[in-house]
A and B are shown apart, each in its own frame.
Chain A
Amino acid sequence: MLEVANLEVVYNEVILVLRGLSVQVPDGQIVALLGSNGAGKTTTARAITGLLDVHEGKVTKGSVTWNGAEIGEQLPAKIVESGISQVMEGRRIFGELTVDENLSCGAFTNRANMNANYERVMDLFPQLKERNTQVAGYLSGGEQQMLAIGRALMAEPKLLILDEPSLGLAPMLIEQIRDIIVDINKQGVSVLLIEQNAMMALSIADFGYVMESGKVVMDGPAQKLLNDEDVQEFYLGLHGDGGERKSFRDVKHYKRRKRWLS
């Protein structure tokens, strides 16, 4: 189980991005982390996987624990070894390498089971099998996303963090990716799904968090969030009564639970 507690992250020593964020990902579940641009979703992913350093970011308060062990200060390589993999926002595949070489990079920390994991990835993504010797930069957007997910799976993670997997993909491909996430979860991998596409995320998640300016402002079982009026208004684009847009000011009433005691 991944537990992020009261996390505070500062960029460049001045920009406070996360202000006491608390999120939990129980084993075997899909947890959605929703929020608009700049809410701090990607920063959360970076804090969990040890990539804050690259962006001059620092954890100033709070903790990230993975199965009871603190992982906040560890190197990215150690965190991958301990079973957390991330599919970064914008896919970030190695465009000059072939598909197979990309997958081999994903298996950097887990060489022993490479062949088994390779078979597993190819079963999940038959499209990659046909193109395994091609240069990854020339794959289509959907295939690149599949490759990015496959690459992360090569490390045989127990927790997969997906940062905006639907970004820039056609609706049909989003559905395909969504089904794949469910399949991966069924194989026993917990998933932290970071999304702006709330409909897609909540439709498969067990639990959801809504973030706003560095804090969780709302959480609950996915079904409950889907039915929530405010979530519908702001994340699903549905306008309940009469189709008229509500003013943002009127809606800012949802509970702001104090979390520093949690």
Chain B
Amino acid sequence: MINAFLQLAQVGTGATLVQTLLKSFALGSVYVLIALGFVIIFKATQVLNFAAGALSMAGAMFMTILISDGGLPLLPFGNPLAPAEGETASVVLFFVNVLIALALAALLGLVIERLAIRPMVGQPLFAMAVITLGIEIAIRPFNLDATALEGRRLGVPWGASSWNWGDAVVPKSYIVAVIIAAIAGAGVLLFFRTKLGVAMRAVAFDQEAAMAQGINVGRVFAIAWAMGTALAALGAIVYGMAPFPPGGSVSQEIHPLLALRVLPVIVLGGLDSVAGAIYGGLIIATAEVFAGQYLSQWNSTLGSGYSTIVPYLVMLFMLLVKPYGLFGTPEIRRV
């Protein structure tokens, strides 16, 4: 019955629909992770972090160095958790390595905050945003140089393997992506209820007043940058898992643009909203994947180009209708 309907609507079989939905959720998970990184930094510092692309890719680079080269960056000794030559890591070791890579990414975020952002506290936000753009440009060559043309393996233990649910083929990486994003999203939501999370929101609202309460604004900034960078890195690592376009590696062509593709997500969801990042990520990814799956057959002029355009169309529409995004906070002020 359902299949008949789907055939009538010319959207292929039920299995195709299930696969497309799942792909949407998986891609949405990647978007959610990176968008959360944007949101945390924006919530604390009011700065849109244009360096997210380079920083997320750097995080994925740390992962490949840990796994496929078996060494810790900048240190002479190797990584005891790295798989032996020619083998893939066990699942547990893989995730431990992911955690180490995230810690390194967080460290990178801390260093950047200390060197480039902290001296700018109190300066115009526009200047800060441009500085993040400079960071992006400064870090990107390192990433490109390190990846080389063919990309670097992430050493995902389950590779591109998948389960079969009835007729539908379900890549394991997609399920992992959804689980990781769910954990990260819940973690961030809980974080904003803690003492530090509330302080972070206070700092975002009124830095001086927050300082007057004894909140250490510098420390809040540092934590926001560490968390934001780590989340962006996690997104890039997840995106490096097999059925995603980079195909199990960090890609020189696809990874640097990943964060840019999250821009419609944060505009749709609202720059300062965790819930917005989550819903926005899922909505944009769904629109993108479905457009790629179904529209490309419908008119061949654009082909797969539909999936590139549709997110930005959604963003444009959103900006016209609700400039603060679905869940963004309009300024609250008593008149």
Residues on A close to B: CB < 8 A? 49-51, 53-54, 75-77, 79-81, 85-86, 88, 92-97, 101-102, 104-106, 108-109, 111, 135, 137-141, 144, 151-152, 155
Selected from A49, A81, A101, A137, the residue in CB contact (under 8 A) with B334 is A137
Contact A75 B216 (CB under 8 A): yes
- Give 1 or 0 for each of B196-211: 1 = CB within 8 Å of chain A CB: 0011011001111111
In the complex, chain A residues whose CB is within 8 Å of the CB of B206: 92, 94
Contact A111 B195 (CB under 8 A): yes
- Interface residue B214 (Cβ < 8 Å from any Cβ of A): yes
- Interface residue B329 (Cβ < 8 Å from any Cβ of A): yes
Q: Interface size bucket, B side?
A: 20 to 34
Contact A137 B332 (CB under 8 A): yes
Selected from A53, A75, A106, A111, the residue in CB contact (under 8 A) with B213 is A106
- With A54-B208, A135-B332, A137-B333 as contacts: A155 and B216 at CB distance below 8 Å: no
Contact B332 A108 (CB under 8 A): no
- Give 1 or 0 for each of B107-147: 1 = CB within 8 Å of chain A CB: 00000000000000010000000000000000000000000
- With A94-B209, A95-B205 as contacts: A76 and B214 at CB distance below 8 Å: yes
CB distance from B145 to the nearest CB of A (A): 40
Contact B211 A77 (CB under 8 A): yes
- Interface residue B321 (Cβ < 8 Å from any Cβ of A): no
- Interface residue B103 (Cβ < 8 Å from any Cβ of A): no
Contact B333 A92 (CB under 8 A): no
What would 28 A/B residue contacts be, using CB atoms closer than 8 Å? Answer: A49-B212, A51-B211, A54-B211, A77-B214, A80-B212, A81-B214, A88-B208, A92-B209, A92-B212, A94-B202, A94-B205, A94-B209, A96-B205, A97-B198, A97-B202, A101-B202, A105-B202, A105-B215, A106-B213, A108-B213, A109-B214, A137-B332, A137-B333, A138-B334, A139-B334, A144-B334, A151-B213, A155-B214
Contact A105 B208 (CB under 8 A): no
Selected from B122, B198, B202, the residue in CB contact (under 8 A) with A54 is B122
Residue of B nearest to A148 (CB): B209
Contact B212 A51 (CB under 8 A): yes
In the complex, chain B residues whose CB is within 8 Å of the CB of A137: 332-334
Contact B212 A101 (CB under 8 A): no
Within the assembled complex, what's the spacing in Å between the Cα atoms of A27 and B281?
Answer: 56
Within the assembled complex, what's the spacing in Å between the Cα atoms of A53 and B123?
Answer: 12
Contact B215 A96 (CB under 8 A): no
Contact B201 A94 (CB under 8 A): yes
List 9 extra interface pairs beyond A76-B214, A86-B212, A95-B205, CB under 8 A. A50-B211, A80-B213, A94-B201, A94-B205, A95-B333, A96-B332, A104-B198, A106-B213, A137-B333
Within the assembled complex, what's the spacing in Å between the Cα atoms of A219 and B213?
Answer: 30
In the complex, chain B residues whose CB is within 8 Å of the CB of A53: 122
- With A81-B214, A105-B215 as contacts: A92 and B198 at CB distance below 8 Å: no
In the complex, chain B residues whose CB is within 8 Å of the CB of A77: 211, 214-216
Contact A105 B334 (CB under 8 A): no
Within the assembled complex, what's the spacing in Å between the Cα atoms of A80 and B216?
Answer: 11
Within the assembled complex, what's the spacing in Å between the Cα atoms of A81 and B213?
Answer: 10
In the complex, chain B residues whose CB is within 8 Å of the CB of A111: 195
Within the assembled complex, what's the spacing in Å between the Cα atoms of A104 and B216?
Answer: 14
Within the assembled complex, what's the spacing in Å between the Cα atoms of A93 and B209?
Answer: 7
Residue of A nearest to B122 (CB): A54
In the complex, chain A residues whose CB is within 8 Å of the CB of B198: 97, 101, 104-105
CB distance from A215 to the nearest CB of B (A): 25
- With A111-B195, A138-B332, A138-B334 as contacts: A97 and B201 at CB distance below 8 Å: yes
Interface centre among B205, B207, B212, B333 (most CB of A within 10 A): B212
In the complex, chain B residues whose CB is within 8 Å of the CB of A92: 206, 208-209, 212
Within the assembled complex, what's the spacing in Å between the Cα atoms of A102 and B199?
Answer: 9
In the complex, chain B residues whose CB is within 8 Å of the CB of A94: 201-202, 205-206, 209-210
Residue of B nearest to A110 (CB): B214
In the complex, chain A residues whose CB is within 8 Å of the CB of B213: 80, 105-106, 108-109, 151-152, 155
CB distance from A150 to the nearest CB of B (A): 12
In the complex, chain A residues whose CB is within 8 Å of the CB of B205: 94-97
In the complex, chain A residues whose CB is within 8 Å of the CB of B122: 53-54
In the complex, chain A residues whose CB is within 8 Å of the CB of B214: 76-77, 79-81, 108-109, 155
* Cβ-closest 10 pairs across A and B: A80-B214, A137-B332, A109-B214, A92-B209, A76-B211, A105-B202, A77-B214, A95-B332, A94-B205, A94-B202
In the complex, chain B residues whose CB is within 8 Å of the CB of A141: 334
